[in-house]
């Protein structure tokens, strides 16, 4: 006799649970015989039909941004959601306004090597035309709270100080550009893992008693700052490459023009030499006729 006995599960009334005895179940349900989780009662084994559509799964192709709709003369118009509006603001307003200051910052700091000069700048800390904004600035070794006034673009103020914001308007967190440069290069040579990086950074800073006031928010905001800073770098590289291509084209055009001018001058010289030779031959011919 086996020492292991199969213990029956708790008996449930089959008629109230929508269960079918295995022997009398429809053919479409008999495939469930070997599936774990069949209910065993003193009355025997039972199976429960699977009803598709009971549990809804999220559509993987559903846009992340929620949308707003309103009725306009009988037609439903779809408006962009929060994330879509943020994307449009980054692409159409913030990044174009940061391009020239970013290139200027790279020139002033020797490609972000000397940041002491720009970090000493002080802008408006509060005025009547704006409100004070406290931004947590993330470094490799510490977190500093920076007070700004949103009378001018906070993103522009932060960039001029060597930080990149996590949001296009009124950011609550900004990241040191050198850290973003490091992470950007790291994720080129290793598998990108923003969650692991942020958890490591948060633990490292937490051990030094630097804590953010909001919980579990570093990963999302750091990821947003890194994404749009990488976009800014790509746009800057494209701008520089286009400028260099234009300069190469203009230099090539000027060189081609100089070559054409030299060729024309050579042709003019050759024509002059031929004319001189023709004149000399004509003079010799006349002299011979006179002699005869």
Residue 84's Cα: distance from chain center in Å?
14
Query: What integer is the mean pLDDT of 47-54?
Result: 50
pTM for this entry: 0.62
> Average model confidence (pLDDT) for the chain?
75
Domain extents for the chain? Answer: 88-243
Q: Is the pLDDT of residue 36 over 50?
A: no
Per-residue pLDDT at 257 exceeds 50:
yes
CA 119 centroid distance within chain: 26
Whether the CB-CB separation of 164 and 175 falls below 8 Å is answered with: yes
Is 157 in contact with 79 (CB distance < 8 Å)? Answer: no
- For position 253, what pLDDT does the model report? 73
pLDDT, tens digit (0-9, with 9 covering 90-100), for 176-218: 999 999 999 999 999 999 999 999 999 999 999 998 876 557 8
Q: Please report the pLDDT score of residue 120 as a whole number.
A: 83
Residues with Cβ within 8 Å of 235's Cβ and at least 6 positions away in sequence, in order, are: 95, 99
pLDDT in tens, 2-19: 554 555 444 445 444 556
- Kindly tell me if the per-residue pLDDT of 143 is higher than 50: yes
What's the whole-number mean pLDDT along residues 48-75?
Answer: 45
Asked whether the predicted pLDDT for residue 166 surpasses 50, the reply is yes
Three-state DSSP state, 98: helix
CA 157 – CA 169 distance, rounded (Å) = 12
């Amino acid at each position: 006799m086996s020492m292991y006995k199969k213990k029956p599960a708790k008996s449930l009334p089959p008629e109230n649970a929508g269960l079918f005895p295995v022997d009398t179940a429809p053919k479409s349900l008999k495939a469930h015989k070997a599936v774990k989780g069949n209910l065993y009662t003193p009355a025997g084994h039972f199976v429960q039909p699977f009803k598709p559509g009971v549990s809804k799964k999220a559509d993987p192709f559903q846009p992340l941004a929620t949308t707003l709709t309103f009725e306009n003369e009988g037609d439903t118009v779809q408006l962009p959601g929060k994330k879509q509006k943020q994307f449009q603001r980054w692409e159409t307003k913030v990044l174009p306004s940061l391009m020239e200051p970013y290139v200027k910052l790279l020139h002033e700091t020797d490609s972000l090597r000397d940041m002491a000069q720009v970090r000493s700048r002080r802008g408006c800390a509060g005025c009547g035309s704006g409100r004070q904004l406290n931004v947590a600035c993330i470094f490799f070794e510490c977190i500093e709270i920076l007070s700004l006034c949103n009378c001018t673009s906070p993103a522009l103020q932060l960039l001029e100080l060597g930080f990149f914001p996590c949001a296009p308007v009124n950011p609550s967190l900004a990241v040191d550009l050198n850290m973003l440069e490091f992470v950007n290069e790291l994720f080129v040579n290793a598998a990108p893992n923003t969650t692991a990086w942020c958890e490591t950074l948060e633990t490292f800073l937490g051990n030094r008693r630097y804590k953010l006031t909001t919980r579990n928010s570093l990963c999302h905001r750091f990821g947003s700052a890194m994404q749009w800073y990488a976009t800014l770098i790509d746009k800057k590289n494209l701008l520089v490459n286009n400028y260099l291509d234009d300069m190469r084209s203009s230099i090539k055009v000027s060189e081609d023009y100089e070559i054409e001018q030299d060729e024309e001058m050579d042709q003019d010289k050759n024509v002059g030499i031929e004319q001189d030779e023709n004149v000399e031959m004509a003079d010799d011919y006349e002299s011979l006729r006179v002699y005869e």
